[in-house]
């Protein structure tokens, strides 16, 4: 992937997550500078942890364009909420799903660029995708989405596996990215709309047979 294309994808992901963080702050009636804090942590938190784990310079310190995109997205969201009808929860879910999908791809690509194997890259994709939202939810005193039974981190994994499969078949980068994005967003929105979930510790109930004497 070219550096310009990677920069563009990363900036778009940062912007979407910044919007989702600002919307969450609005829902929780956070005001003032708190909105900026929540939005910024959502936007750059996952990528920061990824870069620390990879032992690389933190992306928004190295390239200030990411901070510019973050603050711009937060400001636009504040103005939208202030002067337009209050956004429904649907907008937060869509912004979060798109940001999750893009950051998943960014994390995978960043790890592969640094020479890791695909398994490590898939892990970095999940880390990049979920940790900004996890910190956002903790600050807003919400049960983190990743800790609930509906699909969240697992959508990153599914999207990552889609990317890995297409990559292994030597498909062009564009289609690897597009396939992973579609799978991640579809599963995330589908889990909300159709209530898909994963309950690993759900015990199966067996009906006891009643034995009757002849």
Mind listing the pLDDT tens digit for each residue in 110-155? 999 999 999 999 999 999 999 999 999 999 988 887 877 678 889 9
Distance between CA 21 and CA 4 in Å, rounded?
26
* Choice among 10-19, 25-34, 100-109, 199-208 with the minimum mean pLDDT: 199-208
Asked if pLDDT for residue 204 goes beyond 70, the answer is: no
Asked if pLDDT for residue 32 goes beyond 60, the answer is: yes
Helices 153-168 and 173-193: angle between axes, nearest 10 degrees: 150
197 three-class SS: strand
The predicted model gives 89-107 an average pLDDT of 92
Query: What percent of the chain clears pLDDT 70, i.e. is strictly above it?
Result: 90
Question: Which pLDDT does position 22 carry in this prediction?
Answer: 93
* Choice among 34-48, 73-87, 106-120 with the minimum mean pLDDT: 73-87
10 and 20 in contact (C-beta within 8 Å)?
A: no
* Choice among 70-79, 84-93, 125-134, 138-147 with the minimum mean pLDDT: 84-93
Question: Which pLDDT does position 196 carry in this prediction?
Answer: 83
Question: Which pLDDT does position 210 carry in this prediction?
Answer: 47
Q: What is the pTM of this model?
A: 0.86
Greater model confidence, 81 or 55 = 55
Q: What φ, ψ does residue 128 adopt, rounded to 5°?
A: -65, -40
Question: Which pLDDT does position 212 carry in this prediction?
Answer: 47
Question: Which pLDDT does position 211 carry in this prediction?
Answer: 41
Asked if pLDDT for residue 84 goes beyond 50, the answer is: yes
| Digit-coded pLDDT (tens) for 157-198 | 999 999 999 999 999 988 999 999 999 999 999 988 888 877
Asked if pLDDT for residue 199 goes beyond 50, the answer is: yes
16 and 30 in contact (C-beta within 8 Å)?
A: no
Distance between CA 110 and CA 125 in Å, rounded?
9
């Amino acid at each position: 992937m070219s550096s310009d294309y990677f920069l563009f994808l990363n900036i778009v992901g940062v912007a979407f997550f910044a919007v989702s963080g600002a919307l969450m702050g609005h829902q929780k009636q956070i005001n003032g500078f708190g909105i900026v804090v929540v939005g910024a942590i959502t936007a750059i938190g996952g990528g920061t942890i990824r870069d620390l784990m990879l032992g690389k310079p933190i992306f928004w310190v190295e390239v200030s364009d990411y901070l510019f995109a973050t603050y711009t997205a937060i400001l636009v969201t504040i103005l939208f909420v202030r002067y337009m009808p209050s956004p429904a929860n649907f907008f937060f879910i869509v912004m979060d799903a798109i940001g999750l999908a893009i950051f998943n791809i960014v994390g995978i690509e960043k790890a592969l660029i640094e020479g890791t194997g695909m398994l490590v890259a898939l892990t970095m994709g999940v880390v990049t995708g979920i940790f900004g939202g996890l910190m956002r939810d903790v600050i807003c005193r919400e049960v983190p989405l990743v800790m609930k039974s509906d699909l969240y981190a697992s959508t990153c994994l599914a999207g990552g596996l889609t990317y890995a499969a297409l990559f292994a078949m030597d498909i062009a980068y564009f289609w690897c990215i597009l396939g992973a994005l579609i799978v991640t967003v579809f599963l995330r929105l589908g889990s909300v709309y159709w209530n898909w979930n994963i309950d690993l510790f759900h015990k199966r109930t067996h009906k006891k047979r009643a034995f009757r004497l002849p």
